[in-house]
Each structure stands twice: as structure tokens, then as C-alpha cells.
Amino acid sequence: MGCTMSNLTAKFAFFPPSPATYEVKKRDSDGKFVAMQIAHGDDPELDVHVIETKRGNNIVAFYLRNPYARLTVLYSHGNAADLGQLYDLFLQLKINLRVNLMGYDYSGYGASTGKPSEANTYADIQAVYQCLQTEYGVSQEDLILYGQSVGSGPTLHLAAKLPRLRGVVLHSAILSGLRVLCHVKFSCCFDVYRNIKKIQKVKCPVLVIHYLSVIWCLPAKSTFEPNSALRRLNVSVLWAMQGTEDDVVNWLHGNGLWKRAREPYEPLWIKGGGHCNLELYPDYMRHLCKFIHEMESMNTEILLKKIRQTLNLPPKSSSDPKAVTSCNRSCSWLDCISCSCKMKCQCPDCFSCSSLTCWGCFQLPKCLGSCSTSCLKCLKPGCVGCVLVATAVALQIRGGAIRRGFVQIW
């Protein structure tokens, strides 16, 4: 029952253009694929790929190369467009954002084979991501996922699996398919694209872009609050609500995703915009450029911190003695064992009076008991490192402390 209802819901989610707005053919000269019926389809900066997915479909992908790019954008489009209609937008994004851009058609869209479904879109974006890795060497640290409308589904599905992703852009995104069709506030077994759950697993900055139609104005301190979520807007004199003529995906979908993101970036609410025309507003490109620039400026320290969090490693702390990789005493390695283990250890500050009754001179350095030296691991009789360290220990430790020291070591 759930599978049947899911397929029924999917029929209301996908509207591929018919006929397709472009064709793909293979050149006889070099065997490469080229896009037909689009402007500048023979651009040398455009690579056309036909990629096989794990579900057996062959999907078409356009890779637009920018020689000055540092990041790559993987674009998942809406439910009523194909690559032929989006090619001009891809060119603008490539130039203005100074990025490489990979766009693809879902199964059943454009020149891609198969039928559109939720499971197929997940397999589609996974295949395209693997193509970016193998063909262009793109790592998740240099990748930004962009999802528009229904494309937010496969975008968040992949983003939840990539813990070191650079960033995510959600353009007119949805909380779930059922929430769009029936305006409910719950999920069922036959719901599709349950982004409301997956957004919480995304560990990178998330930019939300959504349209907002202004209906009327109220004083900023008005006690009339039909929806408390609207008060979180950075608008001091306006009460905004979704317009009826542009009511495709309610603004509350975008706001709900933004509130649930683990690392929400400053959102962009475009007043008066529609579901399919936000690219025409100057604020769209301006805010998107700002986001891309900040993602490019993300330094190595922040990236390493994300990697450590992914691997569940303890954070580095300057107050932790074991986190410091240099000895705080100016001594030779024969004078302090901490010079050989290369860690900051609490070595005794005595060894200066040479008195047989001084406890400090007979005390074994604490670093032998708490740190592991660079050698003394193999314990092979012929190991030069073990012999040198053992010699240093013998010269360092005096009198009756020798027996106690080697008991601690071995």
C-alpha cells in the first residue's frame, strides 16, 4: 500500500518537458557526446556525459568548466525543466560565481532514459557525484550541492552522506512531497523527499533561497501574530505572507528547512518573487556570490576541524600537555627523556645536587611512565634505537631507582 501511494505521489511530483528541448549525439571524429539544439552546444568548455546509474538508466550531464574556479557546483533542477532550458542559467552561474558547474537530467527527463521516481533521482545524483570524482578529481571538500524545488530531495539525500561537504544551496526547497500536495504537518510511509528529516544530518553551511510575497503592512510592534515564525524575519515594519498566485511551494517550507539546519547561513527571502523566477532578481546573484566567496575563504583550520569531528577525534587544546608536541625544557635528549618522545612531559626539576639522599635525583622521570618514546616498541635485540634509549635511561637513573624504573617500563 505504501509503495503504491508513493508511486501515485511521484506522478504529481514530476513533469518532464515533452518533447525534450535538446538531443545528444556522439561525434564520429573523437567519439565524444555533443548537445544538439542548444546555443553554444559545441563550446570547448562544455563536456557532455552519458552516465549509467546503479538502477540501469543512462542519464545526461553537462559539465561547464571555468579555468578560474576553485569550487564545483552540482546542480539538481526542478520538476518541470531539463538541461536545454537551463543551459543559459548555467552559463551565468559559471561566469558570475566563478565555479565549475555540473548539471544533470533525472531519469526520464531530457535525453535521459528510464522513468522519473524518487529512488531514481537518488541513484542519478550518486552517479553524477561519482563521475565528478573519477573524471575531474572533485572531492567533497570542494563541492557545493545546489537543489531547486524537487531537486532539494536528491541534494539533501547526498548531502546527508557527505560529512565534509563545502556547502549546500536550497532554492525554493520543500519539506516533503506530501506537505506540498496536501499542506499537512506530518509524514506518512508513502511520503516522498522527506527533507525535513535529512536536513538535520547535513554538517555544512546551508543557504536557503525562497520567495516571499508581501500582502499588507502592519506596525512592527503589533500584537497580531498569526504565525510566530514570520516574526523571525529581519523585517521591522512588514508582516509578510505567501501570495496566492505564486503558491507553489509555501514560504514556510524554506523557513522550516532553514530553522532545522545545523549550520544555517543567512537566508535570502525575495519579496514578490515567484517559484520559478528568483534568478531574475538582482539579490539572487548578489547573495549567491557572497555565499560562494565565503565558502572559498573557508580556511584550512575550519576544514580540519570538520574532519576531526567526522572521525570523532578529540579537539586539540593548548592546555592539554599531551597536545603539545615540543618539550618546554631546553635540554639535550640525554638529559630529558621527553626530548626523545617529543611530548611535553613533567620531568623532575632536580638532577642538579647529586646528593644520594635527594628524592628528586633518584626519581624516575614521569615521561617514561606516561609517554611512549619514538622507539622501545619493537624490543628487538638488534634495534639501534632501543639500545640508544636504554643507554640514555641507564645514564639518567641512579642508584636504587634503576630497578624501580625498569619495572615501570617493562
Residue 109 · residue 76 · CB < 8 Å: no
Residue 213 falls in the annotated catalytic set: no
Considering the candidates 43, 187, 275, 283, report the single residue annotated as catalytic. Answer: 275
Beta strand pairing status for 72-76 and 100-104? parallel
Give backbone dihedrals phi and psi of 41, rounded to 5 degrees, phi first: -70, -20
What is the distance between the alpha carbons of residues 410 and 376, in angstroms, rounded to a whole number?
10
How far apart are the two ends of the chain, measured CA to CA in Å?
A: 66
183 is known as an active-site residue: no
CA 314 to mean position of chain CA atoms: 21
Instruction: State the greatest distance between any 2 C-alpha atoms of the chain, in Å, as a whole number.
Output: 97
Angle (CA) 120-122-127 rounded to 5° is 95
Copy the grid coordinates of residue 123: 541513484
Catalytic: which of 112, 117, 149, 176? 149
From the list 156, 145, 14, 1, the residue with the least C-alpha distance to 75 is 145
**Which listed residue (82, 246, 253, 340) is catalytic?**
246
Active site residue 82: no
| C-alpha cell of residue 335 | 638529559
Count of other CB atoms within 10 angstroms of residue 98:
17
Q: Active-site positions?
A: 149, 246, 275
